[in-house]
């Protein structure tokens, strides 16, 4: 079980609930789309200021998600 599902800091958490999702090739629950088809993050580097030993890094990942078919997934409370 994922440690995130039973984390009391999240709204609607449960230590007993479980999820069942269909095969995304048959019936996807969500769809993920990537900008310009780039599926990996972009990492950029630059030299740091002269007085700083090291380099500067930044990264970003352009993507979006959308609900496709809610019939493809179900959440059960895990208790009667």
Residue 3 in any domain: the answer is: no
Residue 50 in any domain: the answer is: yes
Residue 54 in any domain: the answer is: yes
Residue 57 domain boundaries: 26-70
Give the model's pLDDT for residue 11. Answer: 81
Give the model's pLDDT for residue 1. Answer: 59
Global pTM reads 0.58
Q: What is the pLDDT of residues 8-29, one digit of tens each?
A: 888 878 888 888 999 999 999 9
Give the model's pLDDT for residue 64. Answer: 96
- For residue 33, what are its two tokens? 């789309």
* Other CB atoms within 10 Å distance of the CB of residue 22: 14
Secondary structure element (H or E) that encloses residue 30, with its range = strand 30-34
Structural domains of the chain, count: 1
> For residue 39, is pLDDT > 90?
yes
Q: Are 60 and 42 contacting, i.e. CB atoms less than 8 angstroms apart?
A: yes
Residue 18 in any domain: the answer is: no
**Three state DSSP letters for 53-73:** CCEEEEEECCEEEEECCHHHE
């Amino acid at each position: 079980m994922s440690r995130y599902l039973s984390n009391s800091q999240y709204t609607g958490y449960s230590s007993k609930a479980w999820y069942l999702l269909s095969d995304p090739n048959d019936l996807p629950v969500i769809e993920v789309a990537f900008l310009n088809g780039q599926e990996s993050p972009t990492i950029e580097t630059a030299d740091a200021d002269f007085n700083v030993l090291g380099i500067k890094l930044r990264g970003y990942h352009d993507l979006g998600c959308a609900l496709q078919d809610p019939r493809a997934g179900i959440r059960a409370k895990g208790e009667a």
